[in-house]
Amino acid sequence: MNRWLCATLTAACLLLGNPLQAEVRKDRIELAEGHPTEYVVVKGDTLWDISGRFLKSPWLWPDVWDVNPQIDNPHLIYPGDIIYLTWVDGQPRLSLKRGVRKLSPQARVSPLDHAIPAIPLRDIISFLNDNVVVEQNLLDKAPYVIAGKNQRIIAGAGDRVYARGELVEDIERQNLYRPAKEYIDPETSELLGYELFKVADGRVHNKDAATQVVTLDLLKSNEEVRALDRVLPSDESRIESVFYPSAGPELERAQILSVLGGVAKIGQFDAVALNIGKREGIETGQVFAVFNKGEEVRDPLTKETITLPSERAGLLMVFKVFDKVSYGLVLRATNVISVGDHLRAP
C-alpha cells in the first residue's frame, strides 16, 4: 500500500469518530488531570501521546475530535499545529488550528510523510513486516529450502536457492521464513501456531513441476538463508498499518503469551504476543487493560496460601492479528508487566 495513503488513512481513522459511538460513550469521556487548554505539536509526537495529554482514555480521541471543514486536510496533524480544547453542549471538544507557514505561489501539496503517526511505528515496524504466525498445516505444506547454488550451505542477497514443494500462492514474490517459536495456550494446551521470522525476500525464477523444485533469486536478506527455511507468499500487500482505536471485548482467558524482541521484562512500547486472534473476534486497534496475576502469599495467622487480587498494570493496543494469536503494543505501563498477565476490556 502506498505509504502516503497509509498515513492519510491512519490519521483519518483515528480522528474521525462514529456519531453513534460518541453518543454511547460521551458520559465516559474524562479529561486528564492537569490537561492543557491548548498544545503545540512538536516533531516526535504521536496522536496517542497528544490524546493522552487531554484525555484519561486516549483511545476515545475520535469521539471528541471537532473536524474543521475550512482546514485543508484536517485529519493530518503536523509539527507546529495547535490542538485546543473547547466545550460544546457541556462536552469537551478538541479542535485544530494550523501553525504559521510561509506562503508562496505553488501547487497545493500535503507532505504526508511529515504528518505525525498514530503510535510510535518504529517500535513495531519489524513485527509488521518480518513476523508471521501460521498454523501447523500451513507450515507443513510450505516449500522448504533444499540447497543453494553450487551446493552452498548458506545464501544471502543476490544468491540463488532451490526449494522443494508446491507454492502456497502461485505468485512471483515470495518470502523465506524460519520457525522461531511455538505458541501453546497456557490454559487449554492448544497449539495456537508457529511464529516465523523473515530471513529474506525472494522472487520465483523457475518452477519444475516434475520434481516440485522452485528456483528463487534472493532480493534482500535479513539473515543468511539455510536449508529447511520455509517459502511463503509475500504479505507486504496485506500489512495492516491503519488503526481504528476502540475498546476491546471482555474475554475470559485472554493473556500475554510472550514478549517479542528478546527482552525479559515488559514495559512501555514493548511488543507482546497474545493468545487471542481472529477466532475470538479480535481486530487491529482494539485496546485492552493489562492486569497482573495476583500474587500468592501465606497468611501469617492461618498459614493458608492466599491469592491476592489482580492489579491493573498497563494498557496495550493490538496491531497485528492472526487466526489464533495477536501482537499488541504496550502503550502505557504503570507496573511491571509479565508473561501470563491477563487482559480485560479497558
- Amino acid sitting at position 305: T
Q: Identify the DSSP state of 340.
A: T
> CA-to-CA distance for 222 and 60, rounded, in angstroms?
38
Residue 215 lies in domain: 126-237
**196 plus 132 within the same structural domain:** yes
Residues 106, 85: Cα–Cα separation, whole Å: 32
The pTM assigned to this predicted structure is 0.75
Same domain, 131 and 227: yes
Alpha-helix runs per DSSP H in 60-196 = 61-64, 125-130, 136-141
Q: Measured between alpha carbons, how far is 91 from 316 in angstroms, rounded to an integer?
A: 26
One domain, residues 73 and 179: no
Distance CA 112, CA 224 (A): 35
Domain shared by 139 and 218, yes or no: yes
Spatial separation of the C-alpha atoms in residues 262 and 253, rounded to whole Å: 24
Question: Could you give the 3-state DSSP secondary structure of residue 191?
Answer: strand
Q: Do 144 and 45 fall within a single domain?
A: no
Task: Name the DSSP class of 65.
Answer: B
pLDDT given for residue 120 in this prediction: 76
Q: From 220, 237, 254, give the residue that closes a domain.
A: 237
What SS3 class is residue 21? helix
My answer on whether 157 and 222 are in the same domain is yes
Contact, 301 vs 314, CB < 8 A? no
Same domain, 228 and 134: yes
Residue carrying C-alpha cell 512471483: 172
**Rounded CA separation 61/40 (Å):** 17
One domain for residues 323 and 232: no
Instruction: Tell me: do 190 and 230 sit in the same domain.
Output: yes
Looking at residue 241, its pLDDT comes to: 56
In CATH, what number is assigned to the domain containing residue 324?
2.40.10.410
Q: Residue 226 has which C-alpha cell?
A: 539455510
pLDDT at 101: 54
Domain boundary among 195, 218, 237: 237
Confidence (pLDDT) at 291: 95
* Residue finishing a domain among 215, 237, 259: 237
Tell whether 166 and 227 lie within a shared domain: yes
Domain count, the chain: 3
270 Cβ neighbours under 8 A, 6+ residues apart? 123, 259, 260, 261, 263, 329, 330, 337
Are 334 and 255 in a shared domain? yes
Per-residue confidence of the chain (346 residues) as pLDDT tens digits?
444 434 433 444 444 344 444 444 444 678 888 888 889 988 888 888 888 888 888 888 777 776 655 555 555 788 888 888 888 887 888 888 877 655 555 544 444 456 777 777 777 877 887 889 999 999 999 999 999 988 787 888 999 999 999 999 999 999 999 998 999 999 899 999 999 999 999 999 999 999 999 999 999 999 999 999 999 998 654 555 567 678 899 998 999 999 987 666 788 889 999 999 999 999 988 999 999 988 888 989 998 999 888 899 999 999 999 999 999 999 999 988 999 999 999 8
Report the CATH number at residue 139: 2.40.30
Same domain, 145 and 212: yes
